[in-house]
Amino acid sequence: MNDYAEVVVLVEGRTEKIFAEKILAPYLASQRVYLTPVILSKQGQKGGDVRFSRAKNDIGEHLKQRSDTWVSTLVDYYGIKPDWPGFAASKALTDHAQKAATMNQATMAEIARLFPDCQPKTRFIPYVSMHETEALYFSDPACLASNLGVRQQRIDAILNECGEPERINDRPETAPSKRLGQLANRFKKTTTGIAIAEQIGISRMRAACPIFDGWIAQISALAGGAHGQA
């Protein structure tokens, strides 16, 4: 029994890795959960090509390496490839929370089938971000507008249209990162976006984004748990 937890989070690209390192890791460390982000692709390769055929091998390798750590994922629903478990079923749904739950449950079931000896049901936490990590930046419209140099009414209009940050959808012209780029040419994922995220903070993101909040709650609860027990 330990009063801390070590979690490897497999991310799809450089933006998510920086987000995990600079925003997630310090927040979770204060709760005795220590995060190590690892890019699914080879070092230096761009993200966005999120295939389960590649991800499942990485997940399995990290589950096998040590029995006293947990493994999670941070991949965007936008751009995810059709081979991902639950993808086809999710496309038939309209509710974003149901889409996420369908993807996560199917991913868990497939990893449990592929790696039954690695205790995936207790050591693996699948998370598919709806619809992109950049949706989290809409959690604080005033902060976002200030950093982009636009009127807050433009941010509010997007939220009024969609309902909440995680509902901002995944079409090529209306995905969160695409909307941010349309709002301001100055927006860059790995610089502007991370700076905005630092200002907003995880607590505000959790309050505005229930699916993200559920994932963070799961990871936060690991500290104090029994490592490697079924």
d(CA 150, CA 188): 15
Please give the angle made by the CA atoms of 64, 67 and 72, to the nearest 5 degrees: 70
Is 140 within the bounds of a domain?
yes
- For residue 140, what is the DSSP state? -
Query: Based on the domain organization, do 20 and 119 belong to the same domain?
Result: yes
Question: Side chain identity at 58, as an amino acid letter?
Answer: D
CATH number at residue 36: 3.40.50
Query: Which positions of the chain have pLDDT values less than 70?
Result: 1-2, 41-49, 170, 224-230
Of residues 40, 60, 51, the one with CA closest to residue 116:
60
Looking at residue 48, its pLDDT comes to 55
Judge contact between 52 and 34, C-beta under 8 A.
no
Looking at residue 70, its pLDDT comes to 98
Instruction: Count the domains in the chain.
Output: 2
Looking at residue 201, its pLDDT comes to 96
Looking at residue 185, its pLDDT comes to 83
Domain region containing 36: 5-132+205-220
Query: Based on the domain organization, do 61 and 171 belong to the same domain?
Result: no
